[in-house]
Amino acid sequence: MSLHLSDQSPCELGFRMPAEWEPHEATWLAWPHNPTDWPGKFQAIPWLYAEIVRLLSLHERVHLLVQDEKDQSRATSVLERAHVNLENVSFHVWPTNRVWTRDSGPIFVRNHDGQVAITDWHFNAWAKYPDWQLDDKLPVQAAELLGLQSWQPKIKLENGSAHRLVLEGGSIDVNGAGTLITTEECLLSEVQQRNPGVSRAQLERALHDFLGIDQVIWLDRGIAGDDTHGHVDDITRFVGQSTIVTVVEPNASDANHKPLAENLERLKAVRTRNGKQFTLIELPMPRPVVFRGQRLPASYANFYIANGLVLVPTFHDPNDRVALGILAEAFPEREVIGIHCVDMIWGLGALHCMTQQQPADRS
Over residues 294-340, the pLDDT tens digits come to 999 999 999 999 999 999 999 999 999 999 999 999 999 999 999 99
Per-residue model confidence as pLDDT tens digits over 150-176 = 999 998 877 878 889 999 999 999 999
Helix intervals (H) in 40-111:
45-57, 69-81, 101-104
**Residue 241 neighbours by CB distance under 10 Å:** 17
Orientation of helix 45-57 relative to helix 69-81, angle to 10°: 70
Selection from 157, 168, 88 nearest residue 128 by Cα:
168
Q: What is the pLDDT of residue 6?
A: 54
Q: Are 294 and 224 in contact (CB under 8 A)?
A: no
Q: Which residues are catalytic?
A: 353
CATH of 24-359, one of 3.75.10.10, 3.40.190.10, 3.40.50.10190, 3.40.1190.20: 3.75.10.10
Calculate mean pLDDT across residues 195-210.
94
Q: Please state, in angstroms and rounded to a whole number, the distance separating the CA atoms of residues 252 and 224.
A: 14
Selection from 104, 101, 126, 136 nearest residue 195 by Cα:
126
DSSP code string of 263-307: HHHHHHH-B-TTSPBPEEEEE--PSPPEETTEE----TT--EEET
Per-residue model confidence as pLDDT tens digits over 114-148 = 999 999 999 999 999 999 999 999 999 999 999 99
Distances 149 to 29, 137, 144, 222 between C-alpha atoms, Å? 21, 15, 9, 33
63 pLDDT more than 50: yes
3-state DSSP assignment of residue 311: strand
Selection from 278, 176, 182 nearest residue 234 by Cα:
182
Q: Are 244 and 330 in contact (CB under 8 A)?
A: no
Indicate the pLDDT class of residue 208, thresholds 50, 70 and 90.
very high
Q: What are phi and psi of 189, to 5 degrees?
A: -70, 125
**Residue 357 neighbours by CB distance under 10 Å:** 27
Q: What is the pLDDT of residue 192?
A: 66
Average pLDDT of the chain, as a whole number: 95
Instruction: State the burial class of residue 318 (Cβ atoms within 10 Å of its Cβ: 0-12, 13-18, 19+).
Output: exposed
Note the pTM of the prediction, 2 decimals. Answer: 0.96
**Residue 19 neighbours by CB distance under 10 Å:** 19
Which amino acid makes up residue 211? Answer: L
Per-residue model confidence as pLDDT tens digits over 254-285 = 999 999 999 999 999 999 999 999 999 999 99
pLDDT higher for 290 or 159? 290
Residues in the chain, how many?
Answer: 363
Calculate mean pLDDT across residues 185-199.
85
Calculate mean pLDDT across residues 55-67.
98
Distances 24 to 61, 128, 288 between C-alpha atoms, Å? 9, 32, 33
Q: What is the pLDDT of residue 70?
A: 97
DSSP code string of 176-190: SSSEEEEEHHHHT-T
Q: What is the pLDDT of residue 3?
A: 44
Q: What is the pLDDT of residue 158?
A: 78
Q: What is the pLDDT of residue 44?
A: 97
Instruction: State the burial class of residue 21 (Cβ atoms within 10 Å of its Cβ: 0-12, 13-18, 19+).
Output: buried
Strands 236-240 and 215-219: unpaired
